[in-house]
Chain A
């Protein structure tokens, strides 16, 4: 299902997959449509015009030119800062970081400038800005190219955080991100770029968008609620299929956006199931998993039949050696064990 050969040529799609868009193609289509619709949308990033490493901007420079698809120098601070200034000046910039981890280089421009300038100016400016951040482990890319750092930015006020897990969501959420008048981070899991997904007819509609703040219930169930994102959402769905054979009924919720977070859908689900597991690649300390648990405990403590559980990176750099990397990222086995423990079948 997923791409652990990110740095090798892709295999030909199976006959079943041939007409299904990849997440990469969906992101590309969303940006292409929005750039056709709105001449104020433009992009900056390293190597995005000729050879974007993951190919998400492929072909855009040919259609829109090098002014609107701007190859940036290796200057993350200046480029993200330029996006903030251009946004204040009425443009709608999209910035690609080659690896999302590199946002750490320019974090002041995001958290203090992009995210705070509207507040600090008493609402005088708006900062419509999309930052695209390839994220996630599983490709042996090493500690500084494999993290899932969205918890940092959920913690900071004024930033929307988007995690698309399918081609439909990649297209619909990216279009909403580009039309949003606030800073939006889109975390794109590298293992999902070449993965292909069935889509409905509305996928092709240029006006198809997915609003922020609406979680998707990917599978209904009555014993356990699992909140999961990106690749781990799909691993969870596979686990849920398998556990159905053991008589365990699992509800799976994809929050899709962490800011805004659809707390109501998650809490309603836990009120029905009485059990919660949160699964994510994020570091566990102060991670998104703990935040979701806290929100549920505050609102549905009386409904809980077992202590909520969470899975994530225990708090070590994502290791380079594949066996070590696999040891710190949640997988199907650990998801299944956690669910069984929650229902007393451990």
Chain B
């Protein structure tokens, strides 16, 4: 079976696959560093199985757009083109990290990534404020607030959704629903039919999308971005996926029903796109193997870079507080 896609379509799909592979590989390297006790402190929070959401969403954005990440924020960092070397250096708490070793929440303002998520809903109103600035400054740029299903129960989310409707802000409220708020199943804490359905309460459009289908996510976010860029205001998008790894790496997930995690692994978004591309004879096994090897080499180099980078000097503890 062949396909009828243009070369640009083919290249884009391969690029989406490569981004998801790179996210998975960078995060696995981070987890390896934790289990090998190369890094200390708060354990990694992995997006394993959720890579399609950030990959699809960021593919719909342009330079000058901003994303505000959650504590599970490595996927949008990689998807927006941040260098794995400096992402991992930051996660190793090293001087050459994007934030000079000062945060788990990697930020690169030049690529429109503000790392937040230390306090669960806090990035949502801040993303709304960036949208205020983008609008007041007369640009057609947009902001995306990533947040989890847990954050959708926070007042900051409700207040910001209402404010975004009131001020017609160029904002995309992107809920990554991965099924669990640490140990609490979403169904226990959300009695509405969906998180997207809450949009109606604010007078916003709400869209629910299969978060394991990278093309569907890209399409939903592209529509929301187009609406925001042309003055149509904010959209709430709920992308449904499943958490495969624990809340953090030390979470053994004994609270989950038997078989649930294995079943989720079987719905891997990377494997789904790989399989589709293979079936359409777009990406054969050897080409896929080359892609994986390329990504593995890039991440091995990034790990070496992170390990070689020094810790910040102690005097830096008192720097960067004041502008």
Q: How far is the CB of B143 from chain A (nearest CB, A)?
A: 7
Give residues 117-140 of B contacting A (CB, 8 Å).
118-119, 122, 124-134, 136-137
Chain B residue contacts of A90, Cβ below 8 A: 133, 137
Q: When the two chains form their complex, are residues A118 and B321 in contact, meaning their CB atoms are under 8 A apart?
A: yes
A77 is an interface residue with CB less than 8 A from chain B: yes
User: Could you tell me the distance between the alpha carbons of A35 and B101 in the complex, rounded to whole angstroms?
Assistant: 37
Residue of B nearest to A42 (CB): B136
Q: When the two chains form their complex, are residues B98 and A78 in contact, meaning their CB atoms are under 8 A apart?
A: no
Q: When the two chains form their complex, are residues A86 and B320 in contact, meaning their CB atoms are under 8 A apart?
A: no
User: Could you tell me the distance between the alpha carbons of A80 and B109 in the complex, rounded to whole angstroms?
Assistant: 21
Contact with A along B61-80 (1 / 0, CB 8 A): 00000101000000000000
A15 is an interface residue with CB less than 8 A from chain B: no
Q: When the two chains form their complex, are residues B156 and A78 in contact, meaning their CB atoms are under 8 A apart?
A: yes
Q: When the two chains form their complex, are residues A121 and B136 in contact, meaning their CB atoms are under 8 A apart?
A: no
Q: When the two chains form their complex, are residues A112 and B118 in contact, meaning their CB atoms are under 8 A apart?
A: yes
Chain B residue contacts of A58, Cβ below 8 A: none
Q: When the two chains form their complex, are residues A120 and B107 in contact, meaning their CB atoms are under 8 A apart?
A: yes
**Residue in A77, A80, A91, A123 whose beta carbon sits within 8 Å of that of B132 in the complex:** A91
Chain A residue contacts of B116, Cβ below 8 A: 113, 117
**Residue in A42, A112, A123, A181 whose beta carbon sits within 8 Å of that of B119 in the complex:** A112
Q: When the two chains form their complex, are residues A91 and B114 in contact, meaning their CB atoms are under 8 A apart?
A: no
User: Could you tell me the distance between the alpha carbons of A105 and B159 in the complex, rounded to whole angstroms?
Assistant: 12
**Residue in A83, A119, A128 whose beta carbon sits within 8 Å of that of B129 in the complex:** A83
A178 is an interface residue with CB less than 8 A from chain B: no
Contact with A along B95-121 (1 / 0, CB 8 A): 001111111010111000011101100
Q: When the two chains form their complex, are residues A122 and B102 in contact, meaning their CB atoms are under 8 A apart?
A: yes
**Interface size of B in residues (CB-CB distance below 8 Å):** 46
Give the contact stretch, choosing among B32-40, B160-168, B266-274, B291-299.
B160-168
Given contacts A73-B166, A121-B102, contact A181 B323 (CB under 8 A): yes
Q: When the two chains form their complex, are residues B163 and A88 in contact, meaning their CB atoms are under 8 A apart?
A: no
User: Could you tell me the distance between the alpha carbons of A67 and B167 in the complex, rounded to whole angstroms?
Assistant: 10
**Residue in B103, B114, B132 whose beta carbon sits within 8 Å of that of A82 in the complex:** B132
Chain B residue contacts of A83, Cβ below 8 A: 129
Chain A residue contacts of B124, Cβ below 8 A: 81
B257 is an interface residue with CB less than 8 A from chain A: no
Contact with B along A13-54 (1 / 0, CB 8 A): 000000000000000000000000000001000000000000
Residue of A nearest to B154 (CB): A77
A229 is an interface residue with CB less than 8 A from chain B: no
Residue of A nearest to B134 (CB): A89
User: Could you tell me the distance between the alpha carbons of A83 and B103 in the complex, rounded to whole angstroms?
Assistant: 22
Q: When the two chains form their complex, are residues B323 and A88 in contact, meaning their CB atoms are under 8 A apart?
A: no
Q: When the two chains form their complex, are residues B160 and A81 in contact, meaning their CB atoms are under 8 A apart?
A: yes
Q: When the two chains form their complex, are residues A86 and B133 in contact, meaning their CB atoms are under 8 A apart?
A: yes
User: Could you tell me the distance between the alpha carbons of A190 and B7 in the complex, rounded to whole angstroms?
Assistant: 68
User: Could you tell me the distance between the alpha carbons of A211 and B294 in the complex, rounded to whole angstroms?
Assistant: 56
A158 is an interface residue with CB less than 8 A from chain B: yes
21 contacts between A and B (CB under 8 A): A42-B136, A72-B163, A77-B125, A77-B159, A78-B159, A78-B163, A79-B159, A80-B125, A81-B160, A85-B133, A88-B114, A88-B126, A112-B118, A120-B107, A120-B115, A120-B118, A122-B101, A122-B102, A127-B323, A181-B323, A182-B322
* B residues lining the A interface (CB < 8 Å): 66, 68, 97-103, 105, 107-109, 114-116, 118-119, 122, 124-134, 136-137, 143, 155-156, 159-160, 162-163, 166-167, 319-323
- Closest 3 pairs between A and B when the two form their complex, measured CB to CB: A85-B129, A81-B125, A89-B133
* A residues lining the B interface (CB < 8 Å): 42, 67, 70, 72-73, 75, 77-91, 93, 108-109, 112-113, 117-128, 157-158, 181-182
Q: Given A73-B166, A78-B160, A85-B131, output 14 extra A-B contacts at Cβ < 8 Å.
A: A78-B125, A81-B126, A84-B125, A85-B132, A85-B143, A88-B130, A89-B134, A90-B137, A113-B119, A120-B115, A121-B107, A123-B320, A125-B107, A128-B323
